[in-house]
Structure 1
Amino acid sequence: LTGTKQLLVRGADLVPPGGGKPIVIEEYRFSGDGSKLLLFTNSARVWRQNTKGTFYVWDLAGKRLVPVSARPGYQQFAKFSPDGRMVGFVRDNNLYVTDLATGAETALTTDGGENVINGTSDWVYEEELDLRDAFHWSPDGRRIAFWRFDQTAIRPFYLVDHDSLYPALVPVRYPKTGTPNSTVKIGVTEVASGRTSWVDLGADKDIYIAAMDFADSPTELWLTRLNRHQNRLDLLLADATSGATRVIMSDSDSAWVDANRPRWITGGKQFLLLSERDGYDQVYLFNRDGSLVRRVTPGGWDVFEVVGVDEQSKVLYFTGAIDGPLARPLLRIGLDGKSLTRISTEPGTHGVQFDPTFRLYVDTYSRAGIPPVETLRRADGTLVRSVAGNLALVRKVDALRLRPPEFLKVPTPDGVSLHAWIIKPRDFDPAKHYPLLLFVYGGPGSQTVTDVWGGAQYLWHQMLAQDGYLVASVDNRGTGGRGAKFMKLTYLHLGRYESADQIAAARWFGQQPFVSADRIGIWGWSYGGYMTSRTVFLGGGLFKA
Structure 2
Amino acid sequence: MRSTIGMSRLYGALVCGLLAASSAGSAMAEGRTLTAQDYAQAERFMMYNTAPLVDHAVGTVHWLDGAHFWYVDHDAGGDHYMQMDATNGAASPLLDQAKLAAALSKAGDSAIKADKLGITDYRVAADGRDDIEVHGKHYLCNLKDAGECTLVKAGKEPGVLSPDRKQEAFIRNWNMWVRDVATGKETQLTTNGVENFGYATDNAGWKHTDNAILEWSPDSKQIATFQQDQRKTGDMYLVETKDGHPALQAWKYPFAGDKDVTMIERVIIDVPAHKVVRLKMPADQHRSSLCDDVSCGEDGGWDDVKWAPDSKTLAFVSTSRDHKHETFRIADVKTGEVRTVFHEDVPTYYESGNDMVNWRYLPAANEAIWFSERNNWGNLYLYDLANGQLKHAITTGDGNVTQVLKVDDKTRTVWFRGVGRTSGVNPYYQQFWKVSLDGGQPVLLTPEPADHEITLSDDGKYFVDSYSTTTTPPVTVLRDANDGHTVTTVAKADITRLLAAGWQPPEPFTVKARDGKTDLYGLMFKPTHFDPQKKYPIVDYIYPGPQTGSVMSFGFLPSHYDNQSLAELGFVVVAIDGMGTPWRSKSFHDAWYGKMGDNTLPDQVTAIKQLGQRYPWIDLDRVGIWGHSGGGDATADAMFSYPDFFKVGWSESGNHDNRVYEDDWAEKWQGLLTVNKDGSTNYDNQANQLIAKNLKGKLMLVHGSLDDNVPPYNTLLVVDALIKANKDFDMLFLPNQHHGYASDTPYVTRRRWDYFVHNLAGDTPPTEYALKPWPWR
TM-score (norm 1): 0.84
Residues 131, 68 of structure 1: alpha-carbon distance in 2 compared, 3 angstrom cutoff: closer
- The 2-side partners of 1:231 and 1:365 are apart by 36
Give the aligned partner of residue 494 of structure 1.
596
- The 2-side partners of 1:364 and 1:493 are apart by 38
- The 1-side partners of 2:617 and 2:472 are apart by 26
Give the aligned partner of residue 269 of structure 1.
366
Give the aligned partner of residue 49 of structure 1.
none
1:532 is aligned, of 613, 616, 635, to 635
Residues 324, 347 of structure 1: alpha-carbon distance in 2 compared, 3 angstrom cutoff: closer
Give the aligned partner of residue 96 of structure 1.
177
Residues 7, 409 of structure 1: alpha-carbon distance in 2 compared, 3 angstrom cutoff: closer
Deviation of 1:338 (Å): 1.7
- The 2-side partners of 1:271 and 1:470 are apart by 49
Alignment of 1:464-503 (within 5 A): 464-496=566-598, 498-503=600-605
Q: Does 1:453 align with 2:534?
A: no
Residues 414, 21 of structure 1: alpha-carbon distance in 2 compared, 3 angstrom cutoff: closer
CA contact (8 A) 2:285 2:318 kept: no
- The 2-side partners of 1:399 and 1:437 are apart by 27
CA contact (8 A) 1:227 1:233 kept: yes
Moved more, 532-541 or 115-124: 115-124
**How many equivalent pairs are there?**
523
Residues 6, 207 of structure 1: alpha-carbon distance in 2 compared, 3 angstrom cutoff: closer
Q: Does 1:348 align with 2:441?
A: no
Deviation of 1:175 (Å): 0.9
Give the aligned partner of residue 271 of structure 2.
191
Deviations 1:184-230 (A, max 9, x none): 1122121122111101233x655636422323331211111111111
Deviations 1:5-35 (A, max 9, x none): 343994555699xx75689876436589696
Moved more, 375-384 or 222-231: 375-384
Alignment of 1:280-299 (within 5 A): 280-289=377-386, 290-299=388-397
Residues 189, 340 of structure 1: alpha-carbon distance in 2 compared, 3 angstrom cutoff: closer
Deviation of 1:347 (Å): 2.5
Give the aligned partner of residue 118 of structure 1.
199
Deviations 1:401-446 (A, max 9, x none): 4443222222345324322222223343433321111111111142
CA contact (8 A) 1:186 1:198 kept: yes
CA contact (8 A) 2:206 2:253 kept: no
- The 2-side partners of 1:34 and 1:483 are apart by 50
Read off the aligned partner of 1:285 and give its amino acid letter: L
- The 1-side partners of 2:110 and 2:385 are apart by 48
User: The residue matched to 1:75 in structure 2 has which SS?
Assistant: coil
CA contact (8 A) 1:511 1:517 kept: no
Give the aligned partner of residue 421 of structure 1.
523
Identity %: 27
Deviation of 1:58 (Å): 6.7
Give the aligned partner of residue 21 of structure 2.
none
- The 2-side partners of 1:221 and 1:411 are apart by 46
Relative contact order (C-alpha < 8 Å, sep 6+): which is higher? 2
Read off the aligned partner of 1:465 and give its amino acid letter: A
Alignment of 1:299-314 (within 5 A): 299-314=397-412
Give the aligned partner of residue 215 of structure 2.
136
CA contact (8 A) 2:262 2:286 kept: no
Give the aligned partner of residue 161 of structure 2.
79
1:278 is aligned, of 375, 399, 411, to 375
Read off the aligned partner of 1:236 and give its amino acid letter: R
Give the aligned partner of residue 466 of structure 2.
364
Give the aligned partner of residue 507 of structure 2.
406
Read off the aligned partner of 1:271 and give its amino acid letter: A
- The 2-side partners of 1:79 and 1:163 are apart by 38
CA contact (8 A) 2:528 2:568 kept: yes
- The 2-side partners of 1:76 and 1:531 are apart by 36
Give the aligned partner of residue 381 of structure 1.
484
Read off the aligned partner of 1:264 and give its amino acid letter: Y
CA contact (8 A) 2:171 2:212 kept: no
CA contact (8 A) 1:123 1:174 kept: yes
Moved more, 204-213 or 338-347: 204-213
* Structure whose residues are more often helix by fraction: 2
CA contact (8 A) 1:184 1:208 kept: no
Deviation of 1:370 (Å): 4.2
CA contact (8 A) 1:329 1:342 kept: yes
5+ long unaligned stretches in structure 2: 1-88, 113-117, 289-293, 295-303, 649-777
- The 1-side partners of 2:517 and 2:258 are apart by 36
Read off the aligned partner of 1:79 and give its amino acid letter: L
Deviation of 1:2 (Å): 0.7
Moved more, 178-187 or 403-412: 403-412
CA contact (8 A) 1:224 1:261 kept: no
- The 1-side partners of 2:232 and 2:138 are apart by 33
Read off the aligned partner of 2:161 and give its amino acid letter: K
